[in-house]
Amino acid sequence: MNERTPVSDQLSLELGPPQPKTHTVSEIVALAARALEARFASLWVEGEVSNLRMPASGHVYFTLKDESAQLQAVMFAGAARRLRFRIEDGMRLRCRGRLSIYEAQGKFQLLVDAAEPAGAGALQIAFEQLKARLQAEGLFDAARKRPLPFLPRVVGVVTSPSGAAIRDIVRVVQRRFPSRILLAPAAVQGDEAPAEIVRALGRLAAQEDVEVIIVGRGGGSIEDLWAFNDERVVRAIAGCPKPVVSAVGHEIDFTIADFVADARAPTPSAAAEMVVPEARELREGLETLALRAERAVDRRLGEARLRLDEGTGRLFGATRLVIARHRQYVAALHARLTALHPRVRLADGRTRLVGLGARLNAAAGRAVAQRRTLLAASAGRLDSLSPLRVLERGYSLCRGPDGSLLTDSAQVQQGDAVAVHLRTGELDVRVERRR
């Protein structure tokens, strides 16, 4: 070594060239994550959903793919709760989020904070998904729907107290047949509306005198009517112990509440007409029933009188026949006595004849008395069989939809109209249950 060589040069000669910096795996992954997140802080990605996983944590894990690549994606529970629809495998999805690296595993992924179906709107997808699921559960089946009461004492209404729906319902009810209306106010639009509608339904269901409930509002867009597609509202309607009429929007609007309710009305006004009959029609119906009952009673009385006359005629005919036979017998005896002639026999015969005559008269009197007693008893039985007597004791006559008398519950079906004839008046009823 040269004595003139600097010490630093001497050290360099001894240690060799400088070594490059060595990074840990964690440092490299963190550097890559920061660079990726800074470059792609917010972007939209479209692809087909596959490998969907939804654990109990509420997070949603899936893969977005197209024809040549795949991208892992995760939507955390907070963002997932804001979705209006349910993500499914095979769905084409547009996702907004940021690119990142999951440092624990070094996995490249998309952190999704919003998503919407590509093509059809999110609300329409959510509508179809919930509709299909509830239909599969049987909540739309006609067999579970209950008939509306004929003339409800109290009509419950769930709607906005300031909307046109409640004014229309009140106007129609007062015009047709004034009934008591009990309003359970609730918001019918916005994020708070489903919970308020459910609570209002519960309050009306707890009122013992409420016999039918109208749930509805005026028309609007699918967003405006969305509260009536909410699963909480739909299940509250299905579980309500009182019959529910859905009256949401205009005639062309349909919500899932329409499918699960006991009856669907195209408008709130139509719902009021559906649950309350018109007084004029009721009066006309009662007058028609009264006339039919009067004619039926007159016809039955005429038939009873005819049978009574026929029975009386037969009874008197039989009595006259008995008397005639006895007279013939007396005449025959008299002829025999006359033929025997001797005075003594004649006198004896006359004596016996007198006795027989007395017996005959007594027998004839008894026969007549017996026939009269029988006639009186028959008349009493006929009178007791009179339809008027039966109706006066509280019984009634029931006729089926074809007008025939009902003697067996098997002659009618559930929902059939039955005419009930009373001593005074007539009722139209509908069969709710057959035993």
CATH no. for residue 177? 3.40.50.261
Gap between the Cα atoms of 392 and 387, Å rounded: 9
16 falls within a domain: no
Angstrom distances, CA of residue 411 to CA of 65, 402, 416: 64, 10, 10
pLDDT on residue 197 = 94
Are 254 and 386 spatial neighbours (Cβ–Cβ below 8 Å)? no
- Taken as a whole, the chain contains a residue count of 435
- Interatomic CA distance for residues 184 and 157, integer angstroms: 6
**Long-range contacts: 230-238, Cβ < 8 Å, 24+?**
230/193, 230/194, 230/197, 231/130, 231/134, 232/194, 232/195, 232/198, 233/194, 233/197, 233/198, 233/257, 234/130, 234/134, 234/139, 234/260, 236/197, 236/198, 236/201, 236/202, 237/201, 237/261, 238/139
pLDDT digits (tens, 9 = 90+) for 393-435: 778 888 888 888 888 888 888 888 888 888 788 888 898 888 7
Residue 267 lies in a domain: yes
What CA–CA distance (Å, rounded) separates 381 from 258? 59
**213 and 258 fall within a common domain:** yes
Which of 2-16, 34-48, 373-387 has the highest average model confidence (pLDDT)? 34-48
Residue 190 sits in the same domain as residue 217:
yes
Q: Please tell me the predicted confidence (pLDDT) of residue 182.
A: 92
State which residues form the domain around 56: 21-119
Lowest mean pLDDT among 72-86, 89-103, 152-166, 338-352: 338-352
pLDDT at 278 over 70: yes
Q: What is the 3-state secondary structure (H, E, C) of 200-249?
A: HHHHHHCCCCEEEEEEEECCCCCCCCHHHHCHHHHHHHHHCCCCEEEEEC
Would you state the pLDDT for residue 1? Answer: 47
Q: Which residue has the higher pLDDT, 148 or 312?
A: 148
8 Å CB contact between 247 and 216: yes
Mean confidence (pLDDT) of the chain? 82
* Statement: residue 252 has pLDDT above 90: no
Domain identity same for 107 and 210: no
Residue 346 backbone dihedrals phi, psi, to 5 degrees: -65, -45
**Range of lowest pLDDT (16-30, 63-77, 222-236, 320-334):** 16-30
Average pLDDT over residues 179-206: 92
- Number of domains making up the chain: 4
How large is the average pLDDT for residues 23-52? 81
Do 50 and 78 lie in one domain? The reply is yes
- What pLDDT is stored for residue 186 in this prediction? 93
- The torsion of the CA quartet 368, 370, 374, 380, rounded to 10 degrees, works out to 90
270 and 325 assigned to the same domain: no
- Judge if 360 and 422 occupy the same domain: no
Tell whether the torsion through CA atoms of 324, 330, 334 and 336 is positive or negative. positive
- Residues 91, 32 share a domain: yes
Average pLDDT over residues 267-279: 86
At 367, the pLDDT band (50, 70, 90 cuts) reads confident
Q: Is the pLDDT of residue 11 over 50?
A: no
C-alpha–C-alpha distance, residues 15 and 297, integer Å: 131
Residue (of 202, 150, 210) closest to 180 by Cα position? 210
* Cβ contacts of 186 within 8 Å, gap of 6 or more: 158, 159, 160, 193, 196, 197, 199, 200
More confident residue, 253 or 180: 180
Stronger pLDDT, 9 or 414, i.e. the higher one:
414
- 251 and 166 both lie in a single domain: yes
Cα(72)–Cα(331) distance, rounded to whole angstroms?
Answer: 129
Asked if the model's pLDDT at residue 12 lies above 60, the reply is no
- Three-state DSSP class for residue 374: helix
Residues 375 and 426 in one domain: no
> Which is more confidently placed, 58 or 344?
58
In a domain, residue 1? The reply is no
- Please check the confidence at residue 51 and state whether its pLDDT lies above 50: yes
How many of the other CB atoms lie within 10 Å of CB of 66?
A: 12
Q: Quick check: 283 pLDDT over 70?
A: no
**Backbone conformation region of residue 40, classed left if phi is above 0, alpha if psi is from -120 to 50, else beta:** beta
**Per-range mean pLDDT, top range of 10-19, 125-134, 197-206, 395-404:** 197-206
Nearest to 111 by CA among 59, 164, 187: 59
Q: Is the pLDDT of residue 201 over 90?
A: yes
Q: Which amino acid is at 374?
A: L
Instruction: Single out the residue in 119, 153, 187 at which a domain terminates.
Output: 119
The pTM of this model reads 0.45
Rounded percentage of the chain residues whose pLDDT exceeds 90: 19
Is the pLDDT at 191 greater than 70? The verdict is yes
* Ramachandran angles phi, psi of 330, nearest 5°: -65, -45
| 3-class secondary structure, 413 | coil
Give the whole-number percent of the chain exceeding pLDDT 70.
Answer: 86
CA–CA distance, 184 with 201 (Å, rounded to integer): 8
Phi-psi region of 75 (alpha: psi -120 to 50; beta: other; left: phi over 0): beta
pLDDT of 5 above 60: no
Mean pLDDT, range 289-303, rounded to an integer: 74
**Rounded to an integer, what distance in angstroms lies between the CA atom of residue 289 and that of residue 417?**
13
